Structure 1
């Protein structure tokens, strides 16, 4: 008998939390090498509680795509994280490999929820943190 790969369903309450993390940005995988036969994709749910953010990080050689399900997010990048893009419900975003960035929930009252897909896996390299004040317009809950 061959080792046939078949479809795998990850139920809503069974998302895998053993994937790499960065601070207060919580990643839970639905399709990933951590718990499916996948070898070249990581696809999961990412959330930030109101006013929470990730520390600076990058995703090594991974290309990353995201889709905002709920909330107002912001990604800071560039020299001293002075540049940023805002994302709202229904927006897609692409983050290139090795790009240092900070993922932020800009709301102090609503959760930010998005789907993220990257290849080949959820690789995360956390970088030295920056003070909240360095991130234009950001404030904690």
Structure 2
């Protein structure tokens, strides 16, 4: 076993799935804890059918998503007033500090994606935004399946 302080390559398998503060299921691959990473986190996220995250942002850390299967809608922006549909083969970039709320519009198909983040510690930069959850719930159709 290599000491986590040694600058060495590491082969890892995804860790056991866990539910993050955002309310979604994650399986960590590369992190400070698993590989001694200093500035990168890489994981798999699974959104079951009709699942939605809690509104949140990552303070001072960028995120990049690549969808492997299914599709995800994502509300984003200061008041979650912008929307994107991210499908298989799409990359989606979230700048540091931008509020967002991903969801799975399908009632049958899970969405599985790879997430890379510039925070090597998965949950430390997560800031929940319950006021934005409530605001989104008041909208007429907050979960478009387009």
* Smaller-chain TM-score bracket: 0.7 to 0.9
Select between 75-84 and 59-68 the one with higher mean Cα deviation. 75-84
Report the number of matched residues.
135
Q: 1:51 to 1:92 in 2, by over 3 A?
A: same
Specify the SS of the correspondent of 1:27.
strand
Is 1:15 the equivalent of 2:15?
Answer: yes
Contact 1:16-1:30 at 8 Å conserved across structures: no
Which digits, 9 at most, give the CA deviation of each residue in 1:46-69, with x for residues without a partner? 111100010100011111111000
Is 1:138 the equivalent of 2:137?
Answer: no
> Which of 106, 126, 129 lines up with 1:127 in the alignment?
129
Tell me how large the CA RMSD over aligned residues is.
2.3
Specify the SS of the correspondent of 1:113.
strand
Query: In the aligned structure 1, how far is the partner of 2:8 from the partner of 2:52?
Result: 37
Query: In the aligned structure 2, how far is the partner of 1:46 from the partner of 1:18?
Result: 10
In the superposition, the TM-score normalised over structure 2's length comes to 0.81
Match of 2:6 in 1: 4
Contact 1:77-1:101 at 8 Å conserved across structures: yes
Deviation at 1:135, TM superposition (A): 7.4
Which digits, 9 at most, give the CA deviation of each residue in 1:66-111, with x for residues without a partner? 1000011011013542320011000001001110110111111100
Match of 2:53 in 1: 54
**Structure 1 unaligned residues grouped into runs of 5+:** none
